[in-house]
Amino acid sequence: MAVVAAAKVRPVWSADDKLLVAVVAAASLFLAIFLLFPLTTLFLESFRDQRGAFVGFANYLRYFETPALVGSLWNSVWTAVVTTVIVIPAAFVFAYAMTRSAVPGKALFRAIALIPILAPSLLPALALIYVFGNQGMLRNLLFGHSIYGPLGIVVAQVFYTFPHAFLILATALSGADARLYEAAEALRASRLRVLRTVTLPMARYGMVSASFVVFTLVLTDFGIPKVIGGSFPVLATEVYKQVVGQQNFQMGAVVGVVLLVPALFAFAADQWAQRRQVAVVGVRAVPFVPKPRPLRDGPLFLFCVLVSVLMLGLVGVAVWGSLVTFWPWNLTLSLRNYAFGTFISEGWGTWWTSVRLSFWTAVIGAPLVFVFAYAMERTRKGAVVASLLRLLAIIPLAVPGLVLGIAYIFFFNAPANPLGFLYGTLAILVLNSMVHFYTVGHLASLTQLKSLDPEFEAVSASLKVPILRTFSSVILPMSLPVLLDVAIYLFVNAMTTVSAVVFLYAPGIMPASVAVVQMDEAGFASPAAAMATVILLTSAAVKGVHVAVDDWLSARTQAWKRR
């Protein structure tokens, strides 16, 4: 046989290939326009002066020569570190109680611990002001210290970040392999030794991950320092002051980039930790079921009660404060603070704006994120683009809302941008929220898609069924619960977020969360608390509907899930 090079194969594209590549292209375009280009513009803008001329590092030099600005960086970092150091052990013990003990009332404790997620970050801060503020009932307990400043910031952040840390740690701890514990017991290891050699190593990467998440949340949160920071400057309030107060966009860009650096660092470390986490739980793991042990469960139960009381207390104070006629002189209850029209021109309209914003973010965002994730995961062509896109899709997690907000100003407000018509509309708020919270939905979708048999599409192709039909009759029905989860996540976050939208709202479309900031700034603390309560109730109601729909869905799909 003559040795001739075998013919190269140039695969023909099927209709399915074309469709998937088209969706991947659409996803690339979406993330490029609404994430990559704005961030690039922000980055370039930090090297320019007001007139747009390139000035190199001049803006950065000015930044580091201004003591107030550099001080705010340091303040941000150390309050974030202190918060992390407090939250992680507390959340770990709580998560341990929920996953590794026989404490009664776990469902209730869990629900209470998650309340802060449903409210804007300002809510705990407002509550702290009621209790320890200038007119607070317990301000004497602070022995002359002021709640306005680092103390208030740290305490409020602890409440705000607790559920985030708890969720991560609970996930890390719940993946326990009972066989490891049986092996340790069979080898007669003491309980302390089991904790040290089995439990803690297993949760190690969860702790790293949770630490970085908390650190980043505190570093980039705007609401809490705005409300309770007083004259204590942090990065987030500084960037707001530069951009909104002084219209100094260039310095705003610099602070944005500076803010991005630690966030990106934390993000990279978190990615590293998460990759390690995967290997811990094997496929054949036997779930761990804790047995009652009073000596362990008793103290843990008390701890859970304490956390719950603090959580409920703080939320309760905010709600109560919002119902009080005039704090602290007239404590009779009334709905006076809920007549938002008397405090802010858009009144209840801000709530309606938030509902519309959240609704569209959820209804458009969830299917979009899922379809994009599906195309990235399943496309057979353009694999390189798809993998770059997967990288791009996790970047929003590292980008603080404030940075994204300023980046949107630079990009969409530029006169040359044909998409400029979006600026100042509800649409840009929706798009911004979708991108800001993109990553969690993307990762949830990927996890779901990975749990589906990768050969569904191959079987469909062999049966000559177009991929669109398999997607709509197999993939989608099976992924509905996840899709719903993502939608609710988007809704709640769009409802409570302040940081990005505070730069992007326009008259007539002020979201409720921004109204909280505005009313608080104008001295209307109780109406601000009232609005925060309304936001909390809205999120909670949506969450309640979610649970009901989820039950209905799982009842409907019972037939094919039952073994």
Partner 1 sequence: MEGTVVRPSTTGKARGAKPSLVVERVTKRFGAFVAVDDVSLVVGRGEFVCFLGPSGCGKTTLLRAIAGLDPPDEGRIIQDGRDVSALPPSARDFGIVFQSYALFPNMTVAANVGYGLVSQRKPRAEIDRRVRDLLDLVGLADQAWKYPAQLSGGQQQRVALARALAMDPGLLLLDEPLSALDALVRAHLREEIKALQRRLGITTIMVTHDQEEALSIADRVVVMNRGRIEQVGTPEEVYRHPRTLFVAGFVGRMNSLPGTVLDPAHIQVGAVQFTCRAAAGRAAGEAVHICLRPEDLLPAAPAEVGTRLAATVRGVEYLGSIARAMLDAAGLPLVMEVQDSALRRLALRPGAAIEIVVPADRVLLFDCTE
CB 150 within 8 A of CB 342: no
Q: Is 561 in the site for partner 1 (CB under 8 A)?
A: yes
Q: Is 453 in the site for partner 1 (CB under 8 A)?
A: yes
Cα atoms in the Cβ-side hemisphere of radius 13 Å centred on 105: 14
Of 1-9, 24-32, 47-55, 330-338, which segment contacts partner 1 by CB under 8 A? 1-9
The correct pick among 179, 191, 196, 469 for binding partner 1 (CB under 8 A) is 469
CA distance 213 to 123: 20
**What does the DSSP 8-state code read for residue 6?**
P
CB 493 within 8 A of CB 437: yes
Q: Is 485 in the site for partner 1 (CB under 8 A)?
A: no
Amino acid at 342: T
Report CA-CA distances (Å) from 371 to 22, 42, 71, 384.
Answer: 12, 29, 44, 18
Rounded least distance, CB 6 to partner 1, Å:
4
The correct pick among 165, 234, 355, 478 for binding partner 1 (CB under 8 A) is 478
Of 12-20, 232-240, 274-282, 523-531, which segment contacts partner 1 by CB under 8 A? 12-20
Q: Is 377 in the site for partner 1 (CB under 8 A)?
A: no
Angle of helix 426-436 relative to helix 438-451, nearest 10 degrees, comes to 50
Rounded least distance, CB 386 to partner 1, Å:
16
Q: Is 465 in the site for partner 1 (CB under 8 A)?
A: yes
The correct pick among 230, 349, 466, 481 for binding partner 1 (CB under 8 A) is 466
Q: Is 320 in the site for partner 1 (CB under 8 A)?
A: no
The residue among 347 and 466 lying less far from partner 1, judged by its C-beta, is: 466
Residue 88 structure tokens: 């992680």
The correct pick among 37, 348, 352, 456 for binding partner 1 (CB under 8 A) is 456
Restricted to residues 14-53, the positions that interact with partner 1 (CB under 8 A) are 14-17
Q: Is 461 in the site for partner 1 (CB under 8 A)?
A: yes
Q: Is 462 in the site for partner 1 (CB under 8 A)?
A: yes
Query: What is the size of the binding site for partner 1 (CB under 8 A)?
Result: 37
Residue whose structure tokens are 């458009």: 364
The correct pick among 289, 416, 463, 555 for binding partner 1 (CB under 8 A) is 463
CB 466 within 8 A of CB 15: yes
Q: Is 279 in the site for partner 1 (CB under 8 A)?
A: no
CA distance 234 to 152: 13
3-state secondary structure of 54: strand
The correct pick among 244, 459, 541, 547 for binding partner 1 (CB under 8 A) is 459
CA distance 357 to 427: 8
CA distance 359 to 487: 9
Q: Is 458 in the site for partner 1 (CB under 8 A)?
A: yes
Of 23-31, 233-241, 438-446, 460-468, which segment contacts partner 1 by CB under 8 A? 460-468
Residue 68 structure tokens: 């107030």
CA distance 181 to 53: 65
Which residues of this protein are in contact with partner 1, per CB under 8 A? 1, 5-17, 453, 455-456, 458-466, 469, 473-474, 477-478, 557, 559-563
